[in-house]
Chains A and B, each alone.
Chain A
């Protein structure tokens, strides 16, 4: 295993260079190799090699996050949500920060009965891309379908007791209890009921939204091409004609794609390449602290990790401080609870206490615990997505398990398969998984979908069941009293950590590397809001 030394090497920045490649014409293997070499030389050194987008009214982003579906009801992966947010509008939308402003809604909600019942009027101009007006019925459907379908987005809408159409363009929401996460819930995308119900499978690949972009083409796990909807009813209107988000497997390919003009931007920026974005990619890095974090989740439903001692032993197999320093910094940092550091700090959580609960690396202790449990058959399966960072943490844990004399198998699956397998609760699929939470400033977005039993098998792969924790997670959603919520969350999180339901790993900044000719590109702290190409006063432009 690695030692704790840091491997971040800062190179000279802000240097670009170019080189011409003149090679002799020989009809031999050398000629072939020369062509390949010249291409690579251009890629690295700054030759004006261009294999990418010709038109500069387009923005192409190379992402490590593949899109899986374009249906807002069933979407769970960040790559999907980032595309969906461009195609669909919600009643409200995020501003430059985490505040919300009206979008499909004509104005602020009007409360009728204290904090529980309110009415939202729809903007008269709001239309879908098939030219049909957005109606109250569509809103009702969008807020009820996730629950009826037991969809991954159900946690966002289940605090609503009822959602009803009062008229063609008026919706009345009734909450079961005061809901502190209401602002975030009202950003939920609105879908056209008739189109989605007509053919849900088709809707997931060729959806109709009310947002500024419509889908030109979609290839699952590969690419989504969006084109500007010329009749967009809202403001601001995008300046770019097309937006493409294409999956890229390796950060190295991302980096060179900037140089060859294949991509205008890449995300996220890997710690392995961040120091070279300027000199190799001729681009600049835009970073903003966000609400995305990584954790090891244990399968408490089936298999060896149902035994607390095994979970403890696994915890002793990895030094996460060292791993985060090696794999993540400076693009993220260690966290000791399921809340990103800035959320934990804003809520005055006892981070030091949680840090004390983090198991130190102690292979001998792990081995003793494994022995105490008895001779195990089979291996500890560590399930990850194909994301390089996720795989790195999976490999690090597996290495520690093997050092402790326990067989370990890292199983890395494509995003769609990972999303399906990581919530089955079957030991054949995983004993441990590397999970990612992309939330908001509200702790509820990090905790309820990830750990509450209501979401088990949907977004929660741990299958943890402890009434005390579940009650607190649910109760914290029913009061606006911040201190009451804080205490409930603190108690629940402490118990989650003590029961070793998960091993928190780190938080990630939202980061993009953006080519010089991309202007007004700003990074939003909420991951799914990126890339924000049509928001605020200055929309994104590409080219001079």
Chain B
């Protein structure tokens, strides 16, 4: 690998690697069981549906990135294009909490895989899953504090472990399913379920937009990121679709719904213990890697928000060179609390809702820059992104309310707390600014 090592920016290959790793890394290991519970044999279709909406949202991001000067993500786009700092603040807070939820989901899956591979449920009377989950978050908080943050060079090779093994599982599983079972597409069962499932698993696709927080690392960022995103999403989606198809062939969907956490391991075990071992290790590597890269990116993102007064100064120093230490610690503590206390469904659904809202908002924003001369925006993809996100939001909310009421109310409480704190913070900030103005005049 030459790019990126000699002071030059990263190229398309690295962007694709980081994109695929960011998407596949953890998402499929944590969320596939829940998607299957909602979509059954049409899991592959649910992933396909989500891919269409995600690609449209990604198109919106790319165009917004071209239309803005700042190297950032959704918050920067809103601020620069609309000047609405409060809206940017709401999106910023939603994303911060969404990332915390995503990391909690990865940590949950890491803990589960660790527990299942070691065969240990409790140690000293304490549940091992929470212990491992919190432990891995703490470990990466430590690594980030020591400055050993996300390394694109390492990520590039880890992709082969993360995505390669699960892709191999999909291919081997396809062959195994074809020779042992009757493969079914399940079109006879088409209905609302796959659409609901697409929204349930939406968080599985969020990893690509982490690239936008680290744009300065890339050579010719706008073009490189565009290619990276548009290549990595279909690759990751192909893996998801394949694995979704295979897992519902290897196992009854009710087994996956009842035991979402070990579902991939059971599927692999039906073929070979070595494949199960490989999938288990890949699950550990992928979820751990995803925690690290998300934590690093979120810390950088939070630093930007602190600089913009969207997040409180108490969270860290906006002027820090790398990820602010206090920010990393705060994010780590929130993630650890979330992963220790929340159920898999709760953290997955909360994160999915957060990203549906943000991606939908970005698609709507992209429609407003159509008239800019510098950017050529086809209105169809952002429109699909808006409609798709809105439909997903409604369906996921209804699904949670009707099928997982406990999760629904937990999500409502989390959202209420976040918005209450946010409202108090902005109000306080407005008051303090007013006081400062009065003091100046005095």
Chain A residues within 8 Å of B, Cβ to Cβ:
1-3, 5, 7, 9, 11, 27-30, 32-33, 36-37, 39-41, 43-45, 49, 51, 62, 219, 222-223, 246-260, 262-263, 272-273, 276, 279-280, 323, 326-327, 379, 388, 391-396, 399, 402, 407, 409
Q: Find chain A residues with CB under 8 A from B259 CB.
A: 250-252, 388, 391
Whether A40 and B281, one on each chain, are in contact in the complex, defined by CB atoms closer than 8 angstroms, is yes
Whether B119 and A392, one on each chain, are in contact in the complex, defined by CB atoms closer than 8 angstroms, is no
Query: Shortest CB–CB separation between residue B197 and chain A, in angstroms?
Result: 13
Name the segment of B200-208, B260-268, B316-324, B333-341 touching the other chain.
B260-268
Whether A7 and B251, one on each chain, are in contact in the complex, defined by CB atoms closer than 8 angstroms, is yes
Known interface pairs A39-B118, A259-B119; 6 further A-B residue pairs with C-beta atoms within 8 A, sorted by A's residue number: A29-B140, A41-B277, A248-B121, A252-B262, A388-B255, A395-B258
Whether A32 and B255, one on each chain, are in contact in the complex, defined by CB atoms closer than 8 angstroms, is no
Answer yes or no: B273 CB below 8 A from chain A CBs.
yes
Whether B121 and A249, one on each chain, are in contact in the complex, defined by CB atoms closer than 8 angstroms, is yes
Beta-carbon nearest neighbor of B158 in chain A: A30
Show 6 residue pairs from A and B whose CB-CB distance is below 8 angstroms, ordered by the A residue: A32-B139, A39-B114, A44-B117, A44-B280, A252-B266, A392-B258
The complex places the Cα of A208 from the Cα of B250 at a distance, in Å, of 49
Answer yes or no: B115 CB below 8 A from chain A CBs.
yes
Whether A40 and B37, one on each chain, are in contact in the complex, defined by CB atoms closer than 8 angstroms, is no
Most chain A beta-carbon contacts within 10 A, residue among B252, B271, B272, B288: B252
Q: Count residues on chain B whose CB falls below 8 Å from chain A CBs.
A: 59
Beta-carbon nearest neighbor of B177 in chain A: A7
Most chain A beta-carbon contacts within 10 A, residue among B257, B258, B272, B273: B258
Chain B residues within 8 Å of A, Cβ to Cβ:
37, 40-41, 113-122, 125, 136, 139-140, 143, 148, 151, 154, 158, 180-182, 184, 189, 193, 250-255, 257-259, 261-262, 265-266, 269-274, 276-277, 280-281, 284-285, 288-289, 292, 402-403, 405
Most chain B beta-carbon contacts within 10 A, residue among A32, A40, A49, A222: A40
Query: Shortest CB–CB separation between residue A394 and chain B, in angstroms?
Result: 8
Where chain B touches its partner, the secondary structure class is helix
Whether B280 and A7, one on each chain, are in contact in the complex, defined by CB atoms closer than 8 angstroms, is no
Beta-carbon nearest neighbor of A408 in chain B: B403
Query: Shortest CB–CB separation between residue B300 and chain A, in angstroms?
Result: 17
Beta-carbon nearest neighbor of A40 in chain B: B117
Whether B182 and A257, one on each chain, are in contact in the complex, defined by CB atoms closer than 8 angstroms, is no
The complex places the Cα of A276 from the Cα of B271 at a distance, in Å, of 11
Whether B254 and A250, one on each chain, are in contact in the complex, defined by CB atoms closer than 8 angstroms, is no
Given A7-B270, A258-B119, A392-B252: A32 touches B288 (CB 8 Å cut-off): yes
Whether B284 and A40, one on each chain, are in contact in the complex, defined by CB atoms closer than 8 angstroms, is yes
Beta-carbon nearest neighbor of A389 in chain B: B258
Whether A28 and B402, one on each chain, are in contact in the complex, defined by CB atoms closer than 8 angstroms, is no
Whether A33 and B116, one on each chain, are in contact in the complex, defined by CB atoms closer than 8 angstroms, is no
Q: Find chain A residues with CB under 8 A from B292 CB.
A: 29
Whether A29 and B288, one on each chain, are in contact in the complex, defined by CB atoms closer than 8 angstroms, is yes
The complex places the Cα of A62 from the Cα of B121 at a distance, in Å, of 9
Which of A44, A272, A280 lies in contact with B266, CB distance below 8 A?
A272
Q: Find chain A residues with CB under 8 A from B262 CB.
A: 250-253
Q: Find chain B residues with CB under 8 A from A391 CB.
A: 257-259
Whether B118 and A409, one on each chain, are in contact in the complex, defined by CB atoms closer than 8 angstroms, is no
Whether B253 and A2, one on each chain, are in contact in the complex, defined by CB atoms closer than 8 angstroms, is yes
Given A392-B255, A395-B258: A44 touches B273 (CB 8 Å cut-off): yes
Beta-carbon nearest neighbor of B250 in chain A: A7
Which of A32, A41, A253 lies in contact with B115, CB distance below 8 A?
A253
Which of B189, B258, B274, B289 lies in contact with A29, CB distance below 8 A?
B289
Q: Find chain A residues with CB under 8 A from B251 CB.
A: 7
Whether B125 and A257, one on each chain, are in contact in the complex, defined by CB atoms closer than 8 angstroms, is no
Which of A28, A45, A253, A258 lies in contact with B121, CB distance below 8 A?
A253
Query: Shortest CB–CB separation between residue A221 and chain B, in angstroms?
Result: 11
Whether A273 and B269, one on each chain, are in contact in the complex, defined by CB atoms closer than 8 angstroms, is yes
The complex places the Cα of A326 from the Cα of B277 at a distance, in Å, of 24
Whether B116 and A37, one on each chain, are in contact in the complex, defined by CB atoms closer than 8 angstroms, is no
Q: Find chain A residues with CB under 8 A from B139 CB.
A: 32
The complex places the Cα of A379 from the Cα of B403 at a distance, in Å, of 9
Whether B258 and A263, one on each chain, are in contact in the complex, defined by CB atoms closer than 8 angstroms, is no
Whether A253 and B403, one on each chain, are in contact in the complex, defined by CB atoms closer than 8 angstroms, is no
Q: Find chain B residues with CB under 8 A from A251 CB.
A: 259, 262
Q: Find chain B residues with CB under 8 A from A250 CB.
A: 116, 259, 261-262
Most chain B beta-carbon contacts within 10 A, residue among A41, A222, A395, A402: A395
Q: Find chain A residues with CB under 8 A from B181 CB.
A: 5, 7
Q: Find chain B residues with CB under 8 A from A32 CB.
A: 136, 139, 288
Whether A33 and B276, one on each chain, are in contact in the complex, defined by CB atoms closer than 8 angstroms, is no
Q: Find chain B residues with CB under 8 A from A51 CB.
A: 118-120
Whether B254 and A30, one on each chain, are in contact in the complex, defined by CB atoms closer than 8 angstroms, is no
Whether B148 and A29, one on each chain, are in contact in the complex, defined by CB atoms closer than 8 angstroms, is yes
Whether A256 and B117, one on each chain, are in contact in the complex, defined by CB atoms closer than 8 angstroms, is yes
Query: Shortest CB–CB separation between residue A472 and chain B, in angstroms?
Result: 36
Q: Find chain B residues with CB under 8 A from A223 CB.
A: 122, 125
Given A259-B119, A392-B255: A3 touches B285 (CB 8 Å cut-off): no
Q: Find chain A residues with CB under 8 A from B257 CB.
A: 391-392, 395
Beta-carbon nearest neighbor of A29 in chain B: B292
Query: Shortest CB–CB separation between residue B291 and chain A, in angstroms?
Result: 9
Going nearest first, the 8 A-B pairs with the smallest beta carbon separation are A257-B119, A40-B117, A256-B119, A391-B258, A44-B277, A252-B262, A395-B254, A37-B281
Beta-carbon nearest neighbor of A223 in chain B: B122
The complex places the Cα of A326 from the Cα of B281 at a distance, in Å, of 28
Query: Shortest CB–CB separation between residue B133 and chain A, in angstroms?
Result: 12
Whether A256 and B118, one on each chain, are in contact in the complex, defined by CB atoms closer than 8 angstroms, is yes
Beta-carbon nearest neighbor of A36 in chain B: B284
Q: Find chain A residues with CB under 8 A from B281 CB.
A: 36-37, 40-41
Beta-carbon nearest neighbor of B282 in chain A: A37
Whether A407 and B402, one on each chain, are in contact in the complex, defined by CB atoms closer than 8 angstroms, is yes
Q: Find chain B residues with CB under 8 A from A260 CB.
A: 118-120
Whether B118 and A262, one on each chain, are in contact in the complex, defined by CB atoms closer than 8 angstroms, is yes
Which of B113, B252, B280, B402 lies in contact with A2, CB distance below 8 A?
B252
Which of A3, A37, A41, A43 lies in contact with B182, CB distance below 8 A?
A3
Given A28-B148, A262-B120, A407-B402: A33 touches B289 (CB 8 Å cut-off): yes
